[in-house]
Amino acid sequence: MKSRTIAASLLFVCLALPAVFAEESWLNRPQSKVRFETSAELGFLSVLSHTIQFGQTGTEFDYVADGGQDVLFPFKRISADFSFGPRHKLVMLYQPIDVRTETQLTAPLTVYSETFAAGTPMELRYGFDFYRISYLYDFWKDPRNELAAGISLQVRDAVIVFAAKDGSATVSNENIGPVPIFKFRWKSYLGPTWWLGSEVDGFYASGRYITGSGNDFVGAILDASLRGGFSPREAFDVFLNVRYLGGGAVGTEEDFPGPGDGYTRNWLHTLSVSLGVTVR
């Protein structure tokens, strides 16, 4: 995971350096109907609130108060845009989230059918990487400004682990699944170089039929950001981004292999601040 992220970051730096000094795009031909740009962000992530429960009789565990998530974590994000003429856009995104902490339990913790005693030193992992592909229709023809809406398909790659440090017990929950999402994006120049922008991806569903589950289920995602930046060159942007990323789910997984009853209640709320660059 880390090696892939480092390799992608190095590739982005190789693309970005020439763009800093280029007056015009060197990635795209001037009259090309298909245009490409890529963005990367680096910053920090703060967990505002995070609770989880595995099993109807399991403990509702507070990661912030009891699980060591009350500190800042590294944040990174990589995306690529393909524009087909002035209206149609395809956006591809990779968002890694892998929060690992250590703590000593102050109270017993039950995860499904496994109980960790109070005082147990623990290693915790909350991994929720996701991949997203989106289609956007831009209502403005202006190539610099944007007001676009569309749909996304997000694929989550969740790995959640509770492990005693002495190796006596480990409970792991892995899940891969697609999620449909609505998308909105806006960017407007305030002058020749300075601009403001926003991006929102969101989804909420409730009920066994809407979510495609045989059991009652609630799921929600909100990925919303506000950014401000400037374009020192036509082919290069620098921006500061503030982002809320959160959501969760409540329900019982069908055909759960056990041990446990497959019930999950998981709600996460985070805030990130990052510095980003775009090369086009």
Domain ranges of the chain: 2-279
pLDDT at 234: 81
pLDDT, greater one: 27 or 6: 27
What is the predicted pLDDT for the residue at 4? 55
Percentage of the residues of the chain whose pLDDT score is greater than 70: 85
* pLDDT of amino acid 211: 44
pTM: 0.86
Q: Is the pLDDT of residue 186 over 90?
A: yes
For residues 20 and 231, the model is more confident at 231
Tell me: pLDDT of 17 over 70. Answer: no
pLDDT in the model for residue 32:
79
The answer regarding whether domain 2-279 maps to CATH 3.90.1720.10 reads no
Over residues 105-110, mean pLDDT: 96
For residues 201-213, average pLDDT? 69
pLDDT at 206: 81
Q: What is the pLDDT of residues 20-62, one digit of tens each?
A: 555 555 666 767 788 899 999 999 999 999 999 999 999 999 9
In this predicted structure, the answer to whether residue 2 has a pLDDT above a threshold of 60 is no
Contacts of 202 by beta carbon, 8 Å cutoff, 6+ apart = 181, 182, 220, 221, 222, 223, 224
More confident residue, 193 or 1: 193
Contact (CB, 8 A) for 25 and 280: yes
Tens digit of pLDDT for each residue in 57-89?
999 999 999 999 999 999 999 999 999 988 999
What does the pLDDT read at residue 212? 47
Most confident by average pLDDT, 3-17, 21-35, 130-144: 130-144
pLDDT at 199 over 70: yes
* For residues 189-199, average pLDDT: 95
pLDDT in tens, 232-265: 888 889 999 999 999 999 988 776 766 777 889 9
Strand partners, 35: 83
Residue 170 has pLDDT above 50, yes or no: yes
